[in-house]
Homo-oligomer: A and B are copies of this chain.
Amino acid sequence: MSDLLERLRGRGWRMTAQRRVVAEVLEGDHVHLTADEVHARAVVRLPEISRATVYNTLGELVSLGEVLEVATDKRAKRYDPNAHRPHHHLVCARCGAIKDVHPGGNPLADLPDSERFGFTVSDVEVTYRGVCPTCAAA
């Protein structure tokens, strides 16, 4: 039984086969799948699971703070189970490969008050872009 499922049970989640499978697909901290990729993998274990349930479950996991939504590419949202250690992303512009990175520095502190326009700034998302070794070789 994964940590994630334990926490969800503790939060009063009704445990269903569908939710279990979605959580299992997200196991491992270095996964960044789209909703339909999650669905495709879930169907292997539970053929009758629907797209709607996958979308619903992912949305709930995001609301609970157990999974992050990231916009590394400009198409589908990606779902990141590594929600408990802050990090950013490095994306290959050619193949879309995504790596978790932990830069030094504090980008939030780098935004002076004069550049905040009265906003209450709470979060910063950093996406590095480049070309991965595999794509550079090819």
1/0 contact trace for A92-110 toward B, CB 8 Å? Answer: 1100000101111101101
A9 to B126, CA, bound (A): 35
Q: Bound complex: CA of A115 vs CA of B99, how far in Å?
A: 9
B-facing mask of A112-132, CB < 8 A → 1, else 0?
100111111111111111111
Given A99-B117, A101-B115, A115-B103, A128-B132 contact (CB < 8 Å): no
Inter-subunit contact A118/B104 (CB<8 Å): no
> Which chain B residues lie closer than 8 Å to A133 at the CB level?
117-119
Q: Which residues of chain B are near A73, meaning CB under 8 Å? A: 71
The answer to whether A121 touches B110 (Cβ under 8 A) is no
Q: Does A41 contact B (CB under 8 A)?
A: no
Q: Closest CB of chain B to A79's CB: distance in Å? A: 11
Residues of B within 8 A of A107 (CB): 103, 105, 107, 110, 126, 128
What are 11 contact pairs spanning A and B, CB under 8 A?
A: A90-B116, A99-B119, A103-B107, A103-B111, A103-B112, A104-B110, A107-B107, A116-B130, A121-B128, A124-B129, A125-B129
